[in-house]
Amino acid sequence: MKDSEVKMLDEDDHIFIETLSNFGMSRNVATTMAYLMNVDEASSREIEISTGLRQPEVSLAMKLMCNKSWVNMRSEKKPGKGRPMKIYSLATPVDEIISYYEDKIYKESQATISAIKKLKVMSKQVSMSKQVSFTSSK
């Protein structure tokens, strides 16, 4: 049997994951990212064991992160037969990933504020037209 050291997420990592989740990042992506922040690189299997995520959850998180160019992926041939193992590492600094969500939240907030302003203008127009029709009907 082979001995290997696997890093585990600590309390600070879980707070980090929770905060990212509150900003709209999926919990699986946040968990995977938190783990990759603490290691130079990791296989899918190491990520599964260390984070408690299932294989499909890790795969989906990695696919999303690869699509956004947040991680690098390379294949490593295992001894003997079988598929090569995928090895992942963060390609984008965490600060840039956080900035992505900061920009996203800012744009969403601006869109919400704009919609509220439109509603206020519309409500004033409706109430003014009701006042006009009320006074003209007398």
In this predicted model, what pLDDT tens digit does every residue of 63-109 receive, in sequence order?
999 999 999 999 988 777 888 889 999 999 999 999 998 998 999 99
Reported as a pLDDT band with limits 50, 70 and 90, residue 24 is: confident
Of 68, 55, 57, 56, nearest in space to 99 by CA: 68
> What are the DSSP calls for 52-96, one per residue?
---HHHHHHHHHHHHHTT-EEEEEEPPSSSSPPEEEEEE-S-HHH
pTM for the predicted model, two decimal places: 0.74
Q: Is there a contact between 72 and 45 (Cβ–Cβ < 8 Å)? A: no
Supply the pLDDT for residue 79: 79
